[in-house]
Amino acid sequence: MRAMKRLALVLAVVAGLGAAAAAAETASVISVAKSDFAAARLCRKGLDLLMEKNGRVYIVASPGEMAALAALRVDYTIETDRFLPSGPPALAAGGGINGAYHSTLELETDLRALERDHPGLASLQEIGETLEKRKIYALKISDNASSDEGEPAVLFIGCHHAREWISVEVPFLFGKYLLENYDLSPEVRDLVDASEIWIVPIANPDGLEYSIHVYRYWRKNRRANVDGTYGVDINRNYGYAWGFDDVGSSPHPGSDVFRGTGPFSEPETAAVRALFLGHDFRAMISFHSFAQDILYPWGFTTETAPTDAALGAIAGTMAGLIAAVQGTAYVSGQASRALYVTNGDATDWTYSLAGAPSYTIELPPVDIDHGGFFNDESAIGAIFGENLPAMLYLTRYAIDHPLPARRRVPIRKDRAASPVAQRGKLRD
């Protein structure tokens, strides 16, 4: 789901411009020829890239950034009109400006209702607090949810990136489904009885609220950076391969892929770290949008992970289960090869601890021309429904496959990855 994206600072586009003003909160979608993009080495400037299509690279630029590109003699075409929705979104009655999608307060209300209505099966826990003092919530689902039974655990997490609203709804609806079907479905009962299922629907509460109320395409958290810009990309802030290079993340605070000042510098990632290290997690899905992909480690390098064959087999099975629901095709592959190089992301970190099968699922649509960030509210249920069998399958897999004792996988440096995707959206 990627309609428009802010780019980085002019500083991130042109080395030598110095400390430029922060990029504007409004921007224009532009495209440049792929050959010009490569010749100007823009791939290594920490830019927030939208996609590559038909020989052109799409980005979102502030006026200052467009001026910087012009100074570099990089020709660009303004594409904004192509990516605007055809009309205002239809909002659900009483849903406010975000319609059927959850705000942080709406989500808290619904999570507390699930806990209230399903005593013993649901436990809502505060796992952290953001810079703006919002709570980060995790919903634990198990047959004795208030007790720590040491059972196999699975993590489903959404909204690392603020503008990816659909990524909130899928994990939330999974929790709702499990609780409402515990007494109706033997499969659900068996999974819940044998595991701890942890759901963090909003990893980035501050960013989500900013996306709802101020700037729809905001991506990062709301960290006040030293240069006057705001935000850290929390999916570049995890500890494994953090800052590995400046292609998979950026050292520039104004960049939309700014990795922060150090690994786990942000309260959001620190909260996820504490949760993950405190339980026997055997699998994880981080939901994003858009592109219809199932991506697995490594993201920071094109070198294959130690259990590459198993990761690929699980991803292929999940893709098949998704396709069987209503024919939606999700492409599976190693993250760095299938889309884009990333370092410091959640899936590489959780996998690095003990080989826990870890996936980034890029939800629909398949590309910007099919809606991008503007998912129709009527599609929420269908997108969840097609992902449900894959989520149930991964939970069963985690229960049946213990992991070895946690021992971090050593990092081997390999930079032989293309910085521009071969199709669709670039790597989350």
Q: What confidence tier does 47 reach under pLDDT thresholds 50, 70, 90?
A: low
- Complete domains list, the chain, with CATH: 10-83 (no CATH), 96-400 (3.40.630.10)
Give pLDDT, residue 417: 41
Q: Three-state SS for 108? A: helix
pLDDT tens for residues 319-330? 999 999 999 999
Q: Which has more confidence, 182 or 424?
A: 182
- How far is the C-alpha of 274 from the C-alpha of 396, rounded, in Å? 24
For the chain, the average pLDDT equals 85
Q: Which has more confidence, 154 or 407?
A: 154
Q: Three-state SS for 38? A: helix
Are the C-beta atoms of 49 and 422 separated by less than 8 Å? no
> Which residues touch 257 (CB under 8 Å, ≥6 apart)?
8, 46, 47, 48, 233, 236, 249, 250
CA dihedral 416, 417, 418, 422 (to 10 degrees): 140
Residue 93 clears pLDDT 80, i.e. is over it: no
Q: What confidence tier does 83 reach under pLDDT thresholds 50, 70, 90?
A: low
Give pLDDT, residue 339: 67
Give pLDDT, residue 427: 52
Widest distance between CA atoms in the chain: 65
Q: What confidence tier does 157 reach under pLDDT thresholds 50, 70, 90?
A: very high
**CA torsion sign, 67 to 69 to 74 to 75?**
negative
Are the C-beta atoms of 184 and 198 separated by less than 8 Å? no
- How far is the C-alpha of 420 from the C-alpha of 271, rounded, in Å? 31
Tokens representing 181 are 């079907």
- How far is the C-alpha of 392 from the C-alpha of 318, rounded, in Å? 10
- How far is the C-alpha of 269 from the C-alpha of 428, rounded, in Å? 16
Give pLDDT, residue 215: 85
Give, in degrees to the nearest 5, the angle at Cα 180 between 174 and 186: 90
Give pLDDT, residue 19: 28
Are the C-beta atoms of 166 and 375 separated by less than 8 Å? yes
Q: What confidence tier does 9 reach under pLDDT thresholds 50, 70, 90?
A: very low
Mean pLDDT of 383-403: 97
| Alpha carbon 72 to its chain's center | 32
Residue 113 clears pLDDT 90, i.e. is over it: yes
Residue 405 clears pLDDT 90, i.e. is over it: no
Mean pLDDT of 172-197: 98
Question: Which residues lie across from 297 on neighbouring strands?
Answer: none
Give pLDDT, residue 187: 98
Give pLDDT, residue 97: 79
Tokens representing 309 are 């064959």
Q: Could you say which DSSP state residue 230 is in? A: B
- The phi, psi pair for 176, rounded to 5°, reads -60, -45
Percent of the chain with pLDDT over 70: 82
pLDDT tens for residues 120-137? 999 999 999 999 999 999
Tokens representing 106 are 């709406």
Alpha carbon separation from 380 to 99, 161, 224, 240 (Å, rounded):
12, 18, 33, 33
DSSP β-ladder status, 358-363 and 281-289: parallel
Give pLDDT, residue 23: 36
Alpha carbon separation from 312 to 8, 287, 309 (Å, rounded):
33, 18, 5
Give pLDDT, residue 40: 85
- The phi, psi pair for 405, rounded to 5°, reads -55, 145
- The phi, psi pair for 153, rounded to 5°, reads -120, 150
DSSP β-ladder status, 153-157 and 281-289: parallel
Q: Range with the lowest mean pLDDT among 21-25, 46-50, 294-298, 354-358?
A: 21-25
Mean pLDDT of 89-102: 65
Q: Could you say which DSSP state residue 19 is in? A: S
> Which residues touch 162 (CB under 8 Å, ≥6 apart)?
204, 207, 208, 210, 211, 218, 219, 220, 221
Q: Which residue has the tokens 């002019």?
A: 10
Q: What confidence tier does 92 reach under pLDDT thresholds 50, 70, 90?
A: very low
Q: What confidence tier does 68 reach under pLDDT thresholds 50, 70, 90?
A: confident
Residue 418 clears pLDDT 50, i.e. is over it: no
Residue 52 clears pLDDT 80, i.e. is over it: no
Name the nearest CA neighbour of 342 among 377, 380, 379, 296.
296
Q: Range with the lowest mean pLDDT among 82-96, 195-209, 393-407?
A: 82-96
Q: Which residue has the tokens 């921007």?
A: 27
Q: Please state the pTM of the whole predicted model.
A: 0.83
Q: Range with the lowest mean pLDDT among 131-135, 144-148, 312-316, 367-371?
A: 367-371
Are the C-beta atoms of 24 and 61 separated by less than 8 Å? no
